[in-house]
Amino acid sequence: MATAAKRATVYLDPVLHKALKLKAFETSRSISDLVNAAIREALAEDAGDLAAFDERAGEPLISYDEMVKRLRKDGRI
């Protein structure tokens, strides 16, 4: 069952607000829908980053200098 939407006050930079209004009009979506979608996307990206950190938690740590040496050796820089 879907829950009722919660109301929040968000203060936007005037230029961002204008751009958001234009995008809402051009896409026939509400500003709320666009903001909700952007927040969902940002949170999903954060969750993906955290999952990647968890997956690599057991890897040995190396110094920055060592990483640069490896990249040079592999011809990546």
pLDDT digit string, tens, across residues 9-36: 999 999 999 999 999 999 999 999 999 9
pLDDT higher than 60, residue 1: no
Greater pLDDT, 60 or 22: 22
Total count of domains within the chain:
1
In a domain, 32, yes or no: yes
In a domain, 9, yes or no: no
In a domain, 26, yes or no: yes
In a domain, 19, yes or no: yes
- Contact 34/23 with Cβ under 8 angstroms? yes
Check residue 25 and give its pLDDT. Answer: 98
Query: How far is CA 44 from each of CA 10, 47, 56, rounded to the nearest angstrom?
Result: 21, 5, 19
Instruction: Tell me the average pLDDT of the chain.
Output: 92
In a domain, 31, yes or no: yes
Check residue 52 and give its pLDDT. Answer: 87
